[in-house]
Amino acid sequence: MTHSISAIQADITELALDAIVNAANASLLGGGGVDGAIHRKAGPALLAECRLLGGCQTGQAKLTQGHDLPAKYIIHTVGPVWRGGRDNEAALLAACYQNSLGLAAAHRLNSVAFPCISTGIYGYPLAEAAEIAVDTVSAFLSGYDGRLEVIFCCFSEQALAAYRSLLAKR
């Protein structure tokens, strides 16, 4: 089937795709950064739906409706807090991408956008996080027989440059 991977600089809450990924905290009840922006724009119905989910463990992912967002769905995933790489952070970050893509595939979604998971307040180094993201998504798509467009939605020019550099090598 057809797959595509790209990187853009944009506000993830403005993307009209099948799903956007929320870099959530374990409660799924909103927070700062991308999580707060998604909750604010999606409206109070998202918080009500998230209250029913019972939180989410690091590396796992859960799906909700998009509510007031242009995206149909939100895939919430909890990235690891950076602790110098000694706490299984790389495997947990890869699991965020794998489990989010697994939900997208299970729901037969055709397009999904990821923020730069764990690179904000959770402190994951951007270059390492981007490499894990691109490698994990590429590996998933190589074994996936459906159609899926994956977008890395970057907030900063620095993040965009990191992702585009990695994607150019593929």
pLDDT tens over the chain, length 170 residues: 589 999 999 999 999 999 999 999 999 999 999 999 999 999 999 999 999 999 999 999 999 999 999 999 999 999 999 999 999 999 999 999 999 999 999 999 999 999 999 999 999 999 999 999 999 999 999 999 999 999 999 999 999 999 999 999 98
Q: Is 112 left (phi over 0), alpha (psi -120 to 50) or beta?
A: beta
Q: What is the DSSP letter of 9?
A: E
Place of tokens 């593929």: 170
Tens-digit pLDDT profile for residues 38-88 = 999 999 999 999 999 999 999 999 999 999 999 999 999 999 999 999 999
**Domain-wise residue ranges, the chain:** 3-168
Query: What CATH topology corresponds to 3-168?
Result: Leucine Aminopeptidase, subunit E; domain 1 (3.40.220)
Decide if 18 is catalytic. Answer: no
Query: Which entry of 35, 87, 135, 145 is annotated as an active-site residue?
Result: 35
Place of tokens 């590429």: 138
